[in-house]
Amino acid sequence: MDEEYDVIVLGTGLKECILSGLLSVDRQKVLHMDRNDYYGGESASLNLNQLWTKFRGSDKPPPHLGSSRDYNVDMVPKFMMANGALVRALIHTDVTKYLMFKAVDGSYVYNKGKIHKVPATDIEALKSPLMGIFEKRRAGKFFIYVQNYEEDNPKTHDGLDLTRVSTKELIARYGLDENTIDFIGHALALHRDDAYLNEPALDTVKRMKLYAQSFARFEGGSPYIYPLYGLGELPQAFARLSAVYGGTYMLSKPECKVEFDEEGKVWGVTSDGETAKAKKVVCDPSYLPSKVKKVGKVARAICIMSHPIPNTTSSQSVQIILPQKQLGRESDMYVFCCSHSHNVAPKGKYIAFVSTEAETDRPDIELQPGINLLGPVDEIFFDIYDRFVAVNEPSLDNCFISASYDATTHFETTVQDVLAMYTQITGKVLDLSVDLSAASAAEE
């Protein structure tokens, strides 16, 4: 270990692994360490026994739940947008050859006490029970505008500069009602709150286009894909990739003390009495607690069930977004469900997550609107964890610290953090123009 590296990465969470992979492909010499004896950190994937140990201590899981090793329960479950930045980054590193993806069956939104399929195109909008007949026509026109919009072709702009026009102003032109705006903003454009309404409309239009293009890609019932055996496969795939490029992975490294010189710049990491030298350190917040601050907390419920979520046409995998307004909250709530179809549970069992940015200290009460959609549950575990962001100045100390995972059940916010960190570390913008067919989805 007493060697010099370009970058030392601490923690094998999803963000750290993706960065480690991107840097390895850039021919940087990377040492990747974790204090745990397993991959994944906060975003690890647990079997049934590990899940029980984490939440119930010494108890053993009941036999009717099936074999422990048939479970791969992701602690931070997030679906991937089929054409999104994460899939592009995975293809860029060629890590997709170690992974198999499968399309996600359903994408739903909660509205007036019921769940509805999210319409992604003008044709779907016309069929959707979310809107009345006149609203459907107005929404259809708006969807056509978005589908035809090309940033570098002014003929498609209808005389509007979307870098200056706010989302609220753009939508007002089509006379859409609040309910329609709610599902477009939160379930299609995947905004987490309503701040986007006063921001330039270009971002929302791009997000809607990404949703529609991803939706069209696998002709499934949603724009999302997910790896077989869950996200726990990702860190291991990146470990393989890193090894191909001469990187080194080390688990079970206690302490991992980051060393600084007199000017406060990082120069290495010490573990087990040995020090590896490097001019840059990348890590999750738990490795440098003095350089982060708490900005919120996430409440989540993890449920094991014996049936798919009701009213989702028996979807074996599904996301439901509950927009804040529908619940009288300040942030959205998310429901994620996966099953044997993605090899994360035995046949006949389903894993459901309900998560939100916590606004109280009672996740059992706060998450009830999402839990109520699930129907009967066999087992339920409640958890609340703090969210941290970095407060250091990386240009001064060369420490690059990822933000904690938010409550969303899709990857769009996570990957923005990764891409911003990549630019900070390397001074380059990652080129994501790749051949998307390299991440194929598994056939049924």
57-71: per-residue pLDDT in tens? 877 899 999 999 999
SS3 readout for 174-238: CCCCHHHHHHHHHHHCCCCCHHHHHCEHHHHHHHHHHHHHHHHHHCCCCCEEEECCCCCHHHHHH
User: What percent of the residues of the chain are helix, what percent strand, and what percent coil, each to the nearest 5?
Assistant: 35, 25, 40
76-104: per-residue pLDDT in tens? 989 999 999 889 988 888 888 888 999 99
Residue type, 380: I
Positions of the chain with pLDDT under 50: 443-444
Task: Give the pLDDT confidence score for residue 239 in this predicted structure.
Answer: 81
Is the separation of the CB atoms in 184 and 176 below 8 Å?
A: yes
The CA-CA-CA angle for residues 289, 292, 297, to 5°, reads: 100
**Percent of the chain, pLDDT > 70?**
98
The whole-model pTM stands at 0.92
Q: Taken in order 98, 229, 20, 438, is the CA torsion positive or negative? A: positive
Please report which residue ranges of 291-401 form alpha helices under DSSP H: 324-327, 363-366, 368-371, 394-397
Other C-beta atoms lying within 10 Å of the C-beta of residue 254: 8
Other C-beta atoms lying within 10 Å of the C-beta of residue 432: 15
DSSP 249: E
Task: Give the pLDDT confidence score for residue 432 in this predicted structure.
Answer: 87
Task: Give the pLDDT confidence score for residue 444 in this predicted structure.
Answer: 43
Task: Give the pLDDT confidence score for residue 238 in this predicted structure.
Answer: 85
Dist. CA 347–CA 376, nearest whole Å: 17
Please report which residue ranges of 314-436 form alpha helices under DSSP H: 324-327, 363-366, 368-371, 394-397, 412-426
Which residues is 296 bridged to in the sheet?
A: 387
140-179: per-residue pLDDT in tens? 999 999 999 999 999 999 999 999 999 999 999 999 999 9
